[in-house]
Structure 1
Amino acid sequence: MKREKELLIGDLAPELRLGTVLKGQGIEGFDAGIVHVIECWATWCTSCIDTIPHLTDLQKTYPDVKIIGVAINDDEEKVAKFVAEKGDEMDYMVASDGPVENGQEQDGGWVANHWWKASYSRGVPEAYIVDGTGRLAWIGHPVDMDDILPMILSGEWDLDEHAKQHRSALENNKVRESLALEDILHAKAKAGDHRGMIEAFDEAFAAHPALEGQWWDSKLQILLHIDRPAALIYADDLVISAKPDDGHIDLCVGEMLVRAAIDKDTDTLAADGRDLFDAGLGYLLAGERRLSGEAPNPHMACDLSMTIVDAMLMSGDLQDAKRRAVAALALAEESGLPDDAIEDLRARVGRCEGAEKAASPTIVGDDDVCIIDPA
């Protein structure tokens, strides 16, 4: 399903309607022969803030390129204060978003609607490079521009080929269909219609099977909230039908079920969570056996071991939990994993030893009789 206003690589760039220009001279339009970079960002986005030095460096490296940071879905006063505080660290043009057609800020401003949403973007920061002819040449994360921008400036960039690839990727990845489903889900969620959300998932998956690979975890999460028996059936279907290139669905499903079985207030197994817990742990153990036949991946093996150890500690299988924790710690040390990962595993071993000690009875002597003190 196409959006009413669609912006793809190869298209002529739409108008750049800005709000308040907070740094720089502003812009009237896209000057012929000049390459422009439009970056959508927000003050609440840590990744956006992290890219500011990079954009400043790019502006200094390519002074003939006009870089414009447009704050979208943000409060203009906060943006103005942020830009003022950054000073020369943010050394390129910066502006707030302009008004939409009716002059009202409705679900985002001009750039948010005509650039960011129209290009099927999902997050910020998002950068758009407009070439010297006024066509959109590239869309992506700002830190990925280093090799792209010089090619566009030199004329080496094959715009027609990249436009073709971009359109193919949208079709193959069902980007339009996924965002259409997202819009429906947001409306259903806002109305509190969880059953309607499940129906929307089922209809979308039937029409476009590839969407299930992108959305199965969201459907399972909702089912865990409203219909646990149906969640168990769906979880089993996911694991049984998984293909080799579907990733580690068994591990993801297992972890979701185990977490859903835990009482969040007490951090213990919920009274009605045994069926979810047993199924989840079963998927995790099956995944562990499957991975044992593949090339070793110490990071994944240790992460999985920690998840299983935590589950076994909760279920009272203390000896197996300790055995796995000790083995995972040895693997981590042998493989040279980061210190924080090793410390996490040492903490797991300590938890296992503490649980064993707490569960062991204390034997005290009384003349010629041993009295067991349950401590």
Structure 2
Amino acid sequence: MILSLESQAPAIKVQNWLRGEALANFQPNYVYVLEFFGTSCPHCVAPMLNLTQLQEKYRDRGLEVVGVAADEKAATADQAHANLDAWLTKNVPKLNFRVGIDCSGEMEKLWKEASFSFGVPFSFVVDRDSRIAFIGHPTDLDDVLPHVLEGTWRSSDQAKAFERGRIAKGREEALMNPILDKFNAAIEMEDWKTALPAIEEAIALTPDDIDLRMTHVETLLYKMRDMQTGLAVLRQLVRDAIDRNDQEWLLSALDQLFNPEEYDYTDFPSVERLAMGKELSEHILALTGLEDEVKAPYYRAVAPYYYESGDKARAVELLELALKLAGGLPLPDNIKQPVLEDWLQTLADYKGEEARSGDVCVVPRTNISSGATPKGGEDEPG
């Protein structure tokens, strides 16, 4: 039976409680958040910290947060308990809600598997009548919880639409996971003949997934070295990217063509590569009405095509435009600075002389791979 909006909440099958009093049953007139998390999950700390704030904020309105560690990997249960205790002490020092651990698999089965929920962190909200009010990612709790506490969420069109989308995505993921497991196992063993049909099966299930399409190309061209089939698949990816006019697809297609640090183009006919690069680059540069945050990565992405096709001046011009636009983007310094330094380094390589932006100055690299990035000091691509 599917666990979804309005379902009766399943039982609580936590084996041990490491923080707070034991909770055997959901109590009437309380709203509960069950947060599934794991100590090996790097993305679980922030949601747990946010939940301490939500517990404090809404405690007087009947909110009770419950943390559930149900996917701990350790040699023994005692070791799993010790790992969890240390993780909580380090990462959530001001914890103000219950936390339990289940190593039996019951909580996973009753809650996550029954609701097509995968991975951690993952949240369930149980309403005052012990029925499911929300299933989803903890980042949505800030918006959803006030409505649940007011008693207006479950009957809303927004809740019903969210649940329909969640179940559809969950069913798709349930079908996809065994296929991807098969693919990843084959990749690990370098069994390309098994990996290829697995990724093609995954694409047939979700043809709009650009990551799967990229993996398909990579498997054929750079793992199996099947140039004939791989080039046909890549050409179709280029056409689809242009037809969709989607930034992620366009940039991904260009990345397949001009990323020598990632891909070995030894067997890739340069005529084919430049032809596809030309088609993509000219399409991108013909786009109008774009925001600076879109134009900057586009200019950076098409510059290697012009460099490799022999138009060094155009490549330098595009990189300089990208740097000028990117410098003013409202991005955190820890994200923006490495990007700008990488772009500036490529500019120096293309010019064969030092390049400067603000206080940052770089010189051309030497003895680097040929392809989209030239050897230091050369005027023409290698």
Verify same fold: TM over 0.5: yes
Structure 1 residues 198-238: Cα deviation after superposition (integer angstroms, max 9, x where no partner): 434545655x5xx2002433333333322332222122223
- CA distance 1:40–1:316, shift in 2 (3 Å): farther
Paired residues, number = 337
Query: How do residues 1-375 of structure 1 correspond to structure 2 at under 5 angstroms?
Result: 6-63=2-59, 64-75=62-73, 76=80, 77-86=82-91, 88-99=93-104, 109-159=105-155, 161=157, 164-166=160-162, 168-170=164-166, 175-191=170-186, 194-203=192-201, 211-214=206-209, 215-224=212-221, 225-226=223-224, 227-241=226-240, 243-244=243-244, 248-259=248-259, 262=260, 270-275=265-270, 277-278=273-274, 281-289=277-285, 292-310=286-304, 318-333=312-327, 340=337, 341-354=339-352, 358-359=377-378
Instruction: Quote the Cα distance in structure 2 between the aligned partners of 1:86 and 1:216.
Output: 38
CA RMSD of aligned residues (A): 3.3
* Structure 1 counterpart SS, 2:29: coil
Contact in 2 for aligned 1:34/1:65 (Cα 8 Å): yes
* Structure 2 counterpart SS, 1:240: helix
Instruction: Quote the Cα distance in structure 2 between the aligned partners of 1:147 and 1:279.
Output: 48
Deviation at 1:301, TM superposition (A): 1.8
Question: Which one has a bigger Cα radius of gyration?
Answer: 1
What residue number does 1:371 align with? none
Give the letter for the 2:88 counterpart: V
Contact in 2 for aligned 1:137/1:159 (Cα 8 Å): no
* Structure 2 counterpart SS, 1:149: helix
- CA distance 1:218–1:130, shift in 2 (3 Å): farther
Give the letter for the 1:305 counterpart: Y
Instruction: Quote the Cα distance in structure 2 between the aligned partners of 1:167 and 1:146.
Output: 17
Deviates further, 84-93 or 237-246: 237-246
Structure 1 residues 125-161: Cα deviation after superposition (integer angstroms, max 9, x where no partner): 1111011122111122223212321221221223475
Instruction: Quote the Cα distance in structure 2 between the aligned partners of 1:300 and 1:48.
Output: 30
Instruction: Quote the Cα distance in structure 2 between the aligned partners of 1:182 and 1:86.
Output: 30
Structure 1 residues 4-31: Cα deviation after superposition (integer angstroms, max 9, x where no partner): x632222222222113211111210212
- What is the TM-score of this pair, normalised by structure 1? 0.76
- CA distance 1:154–1:232, shift in 2 (3 Å): same
Contact in 1 for aligned 2:126/2:134 (Cα 8 Å): yes
Contact in 1 for aligned 2:254/2:301 (Cα 8 Å): no
Contact in 1 for aligned 2:200/2:216 (Cα 8 Å): no
Give the letter for the 2:219 counterpart: I
* Structure 1 counterpart SS, 2:326: helix
Structure 1 residues 100-139: Cα deviation after superposition (integer angstroms, max 9, x where no partner): xxxxxxxxx2223332333223432111101112211112
Structure 1 residues 52-87: Cα deviation after superposition (integer angstroms, max 9, x where no partner): 221111111122322111123224232121123346
Give identity over the alignment, percent: 25
Which structure 1 residue ranges, 5 or more long, are not aligned?
Answer: 100-108, 362-375
What residue number does 2:367 align with? none
Instruction: Quote the Cα distance in structure 2 between the aligned partners of 1:122 and 1:66.
Output: 23
Instruction: Quote the Cα distance in structure 2 between the aligned partners of 1:199 and 1:335.
Output: 42
- CA distance 1:154–1:21, shift in 2 (3 Å): same
Which structure 2 residue ranges, 5 or more long, are not aligned?
Answer: 74-79, 353-363, 365-373
* Structure 1 counterpart SS, 2:116: coil
